Amino acid sequence: MKKYVLVGCGSRGYGSYAKPIVENYGDCAALVGVFDTNRKRAERVPSLLDAGIPVFDDFETMIRETKPDTVIVTSPDCTHDAYIIRAMELGCDVISEKPVTTDAQKAATIIEAKERTGKNLTVTFNLRFSPFAKRVKQYLRQGIIGDVLSVHFEWLLNTRHGADYFRRWHRERKNSGSLLIHKSTHHFDFVNWLLEDDPVAVNAFGTRRFYGPTREKRSERCLTCPYKADCEFYFDITQGVNKSLYLDCEDADGYYRDRCVFADEIDIEDSVSVNVSYSGGAVMSYSLTAHSPYEGFHLILNGTKGRMEIEKLSTELPGYAEDAKEKIVVYNREGEVIRIAQPKVDAANHGGSDTLLRDYLFRGKIREPELMQGASLRDGLMSIGIGIAANLSMKENRRVSLAEFFDGTDGLR
């Protein structure tokens, strides 16, 4: 039986780790402590689960008293580094939510701590575990389109999902590193993993013209907004888990889960366009739109033997289930068109990937080890590396090489 503690008891910490550990992994995993800077929210974990999990006021005390094997980090992105490093120094392995961290300086301190302590750090890229992603990976490994020469990748967040990043801490760069780190880390890791290659240089542009101070009718938050009856971005914090985890706990720290998406303080982009070159010679054009009418992605891989077109429209958000569409089509040089049938996906849990990810994390269960679905610190770094370089490219209006800030990552292989 392995012992785990959790730092950060928001929706991800509670819903994706605490709840499943208690309800589904009791035979192999025990949650022996939780910590959050908002004690009220931390106390929700044992009370919502009706489980006797100790709540701590201090991270170090939690580690010293519970002596866990592994610390699970689900606090805001900019705080990951401090917990990862301290956990490793105190003798624990770490499971960190993505992104592993938000900038190059923090990344360097994590690399140093990992080398010094020899502890294990897993970064949770659930996209690698989706049945859909696995299929694409398998077909590439079989060489169905030969060597990949170029990638065209468009990721779309609709105005329900995408807007959520503009309500909370994510909307300030200092917290999330921008969507290029917070969100695109999934997408960059996906391509790095498919190509089995390292990104080397990046050029990026980005704008914010949809969210932010773009309309007159706005307020501090939805709960008290005079325009809420008419606003299509109204977020109801008075029901369910949003009430118990956020509204009922906000007096402890002033964390409003429903801030206005048209606020002045928003300093992240809502549209980005990024070009990436890889060490093996492939090139990628990538874009992220956080205000699309529908949710999903379009990924095109051009190879020496053909072209694979992948399209996935999300099934997990209300309103899209009926139109849900997933397809993989391969065009080869003999003029054939191969349509690859899709497995039925679990509409919840990020397309079923969260369950498979947890089986890997807590049971060490992995069906096809050759697909390398588990992600290391190095994988986490290579994905945020594109985002860090893109941020720098936009700031300094130039092409940026990852070697400018990542040195010595080969030792992490």
Ligand X SMILES: NC(=O)c1ccc[n+]([C@@H]2O[C@H](COP(=O)([O-])OP(=O)(O)OC[C@H]3O[C@@H](n4cnc5c(N)ncnc54)[C@H](O)[C@@H]3O)[C@@H](O)[C@H]2O)c1
Residues forming the site for ligand X (CB under 6 A):
7-13, 36-38, 41, 74-77, 79, 97-98, 124, 126, 168, 182, 255, 350
Tell me how far, at minimum, the Cβ of 19 lies from ligand X, in Å: 12
d(CA 351, CA 132): 8
> What angle (nearest 5°) sits at the alpha carbon of residue 259, between those of residues 58 and 313?
100
Residue nearest to ligand X (CB): 10
- Alpha helix (H) residue ranges in 302-407: 353-363, 377-396
Tell me how far, at minimum, the Cβ of 219 lies from ligand X, in Å: 21
Q: Which is nearer to ligand X, 76 or 380 (CB)?
A: 76
d(CA 248, CA 237): 10
Q: Which is nearer to ligand X, 77 or 270 (CB)?
A: 77
Q: Which is nearer to ligand X, 208 or 358 (CB)?
A: 358
Tell me how far, at minimum, the Cβ of 248 lies from ligand X, in Å: 12
d(CA 151, CA 148): 8
CA 302 to chain CA centroid, nearest Å: 26
Strand pairing partners for 70?
A: 4, 93
Listing DSSP states for 339-364 in one string gives: EEPPPPPPSSTTTTHHHHHHHHHHH-
Q: Assign residue 177 a region: left if phi > 0, alpha if psi is -120 to 50, beta otherwise? A: left
Q: Which is nearer to ligand X, 123 or 389 (CB)?
A: 123
Q: Which is nearer to ligand X, 37 or 275 (CB)?
A: 37
Tell me how far, at minimum, the Cβ of 120 lies from ligand X, in Å: 19
Tell me how far, at minimum, the Cβ of 305 lies from ligand X, in Å: 33
d(CA 42, CA 96): 18
Q: Strands of 134-228 (E only): list them.
A: 148-158, 199-207
- 8 A C-beta contact, residue 31 and residue 18: yes
Residue whose tokens read 């919840």: 348
Tell me how far, at minimum, the Cβ of 365 lies from ligand X, in Å: 19
Residue whose tokens read 């589904």: 24
Q: Which is nearer to ligand X, 171 or 307 (CB)?
A: 171
Tell me how far, at minimum, the Cβ of 49 lies from ligand X, in Å: 15
Tell me how far, at minimum, the Cβ of 307 lies from ligand X, in Å: 29
- Using CB atoms within 10 Å of the CB of residue 352, give its burial: 0 to 12 exposed, 13 to 18 middle, 19+ buried: buried
Q: Which is nearer to ligand X, 330 or 377 (CB)?
A: 377
